[in-house]
Structure 1
Amino acid sequence: MDIPKDLVAASAAPMVLSILAESDSYGYAILGRVREPVRGRARLDGGAALPLLHRLERQGHIEATWGSSETGRRRKYYALTGEGREALATHVSQWRTVAAALESAWGRMDFGGQVSLA
């Protein structure tokens, strides 16, 4: 089962903010962490991740600084800002509301054994 692009796009910002709430990181590592929970069922590539990081930076939710990798190459590191923490809290509240509404709407519907909502 692939996850549709619009659902991936809607969840990408809260995922990135959640990752950065744990610790500062760089683009490629962030992308890898976003991909972990969906195990290849959703596509968020570097072409989509970089504009997202830039947008979050413009919004003041993250800030970037240049640092060095283990090999000495320059690497851009991202950190969550205070505004980013507030935005993350808003995202969490919104997603919990949506998830609760979906759970309520679905109840214990029978999907022919394909999906267990219990």
Structure 2
Amino acid sequence: MDEAQLLKGILEGTVLSIISRGETYGYEILLVLNKYGFKDIYEGTLYPILTRMEKKNIITCRIEKSPLGPKRKYYTITKSGETYYEEFKKVFMEITSKVNEIINADSL
């Protein structure tokens, strides 16, 4: 099973969920993903997602001096991002429910 293909479709919503909880930066997002078992997500996967989300205007980015070194990009969800996230959750739950129903069915 190619987990990467399956993950690709839900990663944007997962990242948006993290950002919706408060302003954050890329490395912190990676730490949260790792904490929840997404061990194969790296900067090379995350930053293109963040760039796409910014182009869609569902997150904004500001650059700030970091206390530990180079400047850091901080991400915040936008109003349209909040709407997008609510729709993502709704669709994801519907799909998950249908898949679980089929997987757990005794007969079809």
Structure 1 length-normalised TM: 0.81
Q: Which amino acid aligns with 1:48?
A: T
> Which of 35, 46, 69 is matched with 1:49 structurally?
46
**Partner SS, residue 19 of structure 1:** helix
2: CA distance, partners of 1:90 / 1:76: 26
For structure 2, the 5+ residue unaligned runs are none
Native 8 Å contact 1:8 1:44 kept in 2: no
Native 8 Å contact 1:61 1:85 kept in 2: yes
User: 1:29-59, CA deviations, whole angstroms, 9 ceiling, x for partnerless residues?
Assistant: 112212221253xx22111111000000000
1: CA distance, partners of 2:46 / 2:70: 20
% identity of equivalent residues: 23
Structure with greater strand share of residues: 2
Aligned structure 1 segments of 4 or more residues deviating by more than 6 angstroms: none
**Partner SS, residue 73 of structure 1:** strand
**Corresponding residue for 2:72?**
75
Structure 2 length-normalised TM: 0.88
> Which of 82, 95, 103 is matched with 2:100 structurally?
103
**Partner SS, residue 57 of structure 2:** coil
2: CA distance, partners of 1:4 / 1:69: 34
Aligned-residue Cα RMSD (Å) equals: 1.8
Q: Larger Rg: 1 or 2?
A: 1
Quote how far apart the aligned CAs of 1:3 are: 7.0
Query: How many residue pairs were aligned?
Result: 106
For structure 1, the 5+ residue unaligned runs are 110-118
**Partner SS, residue 36 of structure 2:** helix
